[in-house]
Amino acid sequence: MNEYLPGLEGVPATRSNISDLDGIKGILTYRGYPIEDLAINSTFEETCLLLLDGRLPTRAALDDFDRQLRRNRVVKYNIREIMKYLPATGHPMEMLQTAIASLGMFYQGDECLTGSDMCQDLNYVHNMSVKIIARMATIVAMWEHVRNGYDPVAPRKDLTYAENLLYMFSGEAPDPLYAKIMDACLILHAEHTINASTFAALVAGSTLGSPYLVVAAAIGTLAGPLHGGANERVVEMLEQIGSPANVPAWLEDKLSNKEKIWGMGHREYKVKDPRAIILQGLMRELMDQRSGNMSVMFDTALALEAACEERLAPKGVYPNVDFYSGILYREMGLPPDQFTSIFAVARSAGWLAHWREQLGDNRIFRPTQVYAGESVREYVPLDQR
């Protein structure tokens, strides 16, 4: 195949059993289970194990996995010390990539990947996945305190994954609805077929790099505004708009100048992102709890979606997962520049599921190219140029 397809659009990069989507019908499944069912009935812990192992766990298996996650939440003080020397003004995703990459220096774990053969030790793969998923949330929440000059809040073993993440941010027991919303958000962001960051994880994994570096590669890819960084941009956009009354003129200006509307449109979906539908429902629950007392940002978002539906829906452009996730996080008091880091916390489950799948039938990625440069030329010595 010599045809160049920008962005590898439509080019299969792997064969996978992990997730699937139908962008025309708006269907997303993890291991065959619709995302709507998982968001309502599952937990992030159960969804992680489903993605990693390929099946819904028994109660005993889930309890054991949950205990493993809780036991591995604590990180060595060295990681905290590294954080203290990072610029407080640096973006949390840059911190997260640095911290996750450094974990391999303090927690050795590449002994299964030192030879040329594929690693078939599923206990090793499972244990490494547990350690990384457990510590992702800890590191993200630690940074919120360290960058503000405080010692981090220690994780608690008596809380669920979502509860502990919120607790470590605030130092207070989370509101039950907030914990429910966070748990659902983690499930919705955990996996999404072969997106850019997952492809980066596959490429890094195919070299038999350590899982810490595999996840670090994926974090760096997720950070871009055309991928995970879009949820932060949505909040900035809504703040710029200011109020529902400003939406029509603002949207007309953006469309006239062919500028991007953050949180609108998706490469795969030609209908409204099913994850956005679930998140909007969670926003309604939060609004009911507050007796309708929401920030103007939520009303602005609803007005913008309505205006975009009229102008963009005929072109197959609808809200994606980033449109409402950022608003939810903001309403829960989380800092906007941490939104993508929370996305990475969730997506670590999907990255590691694909890492495991890649190791099962590995071949290093080595794509070709369409060369468009000069033909062979004679070298000209420097003094003759």
Residue 64: Cβ within 10 Å count: 13
For the domain made up of 230-331, give the CATH fold.
Answer: Cytochrome p450-Terp; domain 2 (1.10.230)
- For the chain, what's the residue count? 385
pLDDT of residue 119: 62
Which sequence spans correspond to the domains of the chain?
Answer: 16-175+189-223+350-360, 230-331
What are the two backbone dihedrals, phi and then psi, of residue 120, each rounded to the nearest 5 degrees? -110, 10
Domains 16-175+189-223+350-360 and 230-331 share a fold: no
Task: Look up 253 and say whether it is catalytic.
Answer: no
Q: 150 near 129, Cβ under 8 Å?
A: no
Out of 266, 288, 337, 383, pick the active-site residue. 266
Question: What is the predicted pLDDT for the residue at 124?
Answer: 86
pLDDT higher than threshold 80 for residue 111: no
pLDDT at 110: 56
In the chain, where does DSSP find H-type helix? 35-41, 44-53, 59-71, 77-84, 92-106, 122-146, 161-170, 176-189, 196-206, 211-222, 230-241, 247-256, 274-289, 296-312, 321-331, 339-360
Encoded tokens for 381: 């010595």
Domain 16-175+189-223+350-360 CATH superfamily = Citrate Synthase, domain 1 (1.10.580.10)
Query: For this structure, is 266 an active site residue?
Result: yes
Which of 224, 183, 220, 181 has the alpha carbon at shortest distance from 324? 181
Give pLDDT tens digits for 241-272. 999 999 999 999 999 999 989 989 888 888 89
Residue 214 CB contacts under 8 Å (≥ 6 apart), including other chains: 201, 204, 205, 351, 352, 355
Amino acid making up residue 344: A
pTM: 0.92
From the list 322, 337, 361, 383, the catalytic residue is 322
3-state secondary structure at position 173: coil
